[in-house]
Chains A and B, each alone.
Chain A
Amino acid sequence: MEIPATSEKKPLGHFDAAVGSTSEASAVAIAALVDEYAGTLYRVAYSVLRNAADAEDAVQETYLRVLRHRDGLAEIRDPRVWLVRIVWNVVLDRKRRAKTRPETDDIADLARMLPATGLTAEERVASAQHHEHVLRAVSQLPEKEQRVLILSAFEELSSVEIAQVLGTTESTIRSRLFRARRLLSALLSQAKSQLGSAR
């Protein structure tokens, strides 16, 4: 996994000096967090939930939790990782509750939604089929490896930050990522051989 350069960390304490009262300061700080990170949080939520409405609900729930704990905002050092961690927990809670929902149709729909501009109609179909195979293989991975693999696709998250989000160490993240890729490779080659024998 590529480790991007350390992102700019903006502690939230600097809002207090600009605005007078604490409640106003926290309101301004939360508004700034919404403007800056709502898109990232939405994409993290969507990559797990794979549903636009659910992902947006998760983002809103995340900011409501921030609002409830607004008194401690000044102590947050890295708001981006902190917010991703909150939205990750919200998303896992929602996914656990909606476990009975079948995912097979979602994966096929999602594969068709992924961008494929500049391709012919035939190539688009082939591309969507490939994405579908990959997403099905990812969904078959063990939960821990699956989570690391999903978060590693976000370019703005380093392995250290993924470790902070998942509450583990960087070495654990690296070993899980290695295991996930090896398993995924085996699953995809198995799926290809099955397709070849069917034809």
Chain B
Amino acid sequence: MSEKFYNPTHETHETHEPGHEADETLRLLAELPPPTDLTDRVHQRLAHARVAPERRGFWSLWLPAQRFQFAAVAVLVVAVAGSMWSVHRSHPPANGAQNAPAAAPATPGTSPADAGGFHSAGAERVPPTLHPLRVPPAPKKKPGAGHAAKPSPKVLAAQPAGTDMTPKSNP
């Protein structure tokens, strides 16, 4: 190391070349001596680092290599992607539903739950045990017959209680 140290009281104009005033300071900074036992500590650290991987023991059995971690992450990603795809497949997007024809009413045994998918919250659930009511077709009305078949309330009120128009059968 140079034994010349900066003395501001002895400075002259010759030493003040543009930009070179800082050289002395930076040179002194660059020549600061390292700690005496630096190399010993570095050797110790390196020796410790060489031994360290062999001390893992139990943990090396738990996760012997990093590739297992990558494999586990890959399995998780595939599982999540698969489940998302199945949900997407069972529920087509809303935009596609507008153009699609009206969905057929749900019939027992063909609900999404039976297909292994999910229900939407507003879906009407049809229990599979309930058979649909079969309503017989209404009889055809004849013109004019409908009025006679249904007596007016006035006629029923004027009629005495004992006079029954229906023929009674004798026992």
Contacts and interface: CB of A to CB of B under 8 A. Distances in A.
Interface of A: 27, 30-31, 34-35, 38-39, 42-43, 46-47, 52, 56, 59-60, 63-64, 67, 110, 113-119, 122-123, 126-127, 129-131, 134-135, 137-138, 149-150, 152-155, 180-185, 188
Contacts of A56: 35, 38, 41
7 contacts: A43-B30, A43-B32, A46-B29, A60-B45, A122-B9, A123-B7, A149-B22
B18 A185 contact: yes
Interface of B: 1, 5-9, 18-23, 25-35, 38-39, 41-43, 45-46, 49-50
* Best-buried of B19, B21, B27, B35 by chain A (most CB within 10 Å): B19
Nearest to B22: A134
In the A-B complex, the 4 residue pairs with the smallest Cβ-Cβ separation, listed nearest first, are A181-B19, A153-B26, A42-B34, A134-B25
B29 to A, nearest CB: 5
A64 B46 contact: yes
A67 B50 contact: yes
A116 B2 CA distance: 12
A110 B23 CA distance: 16
Contacts of A119: 5, 7
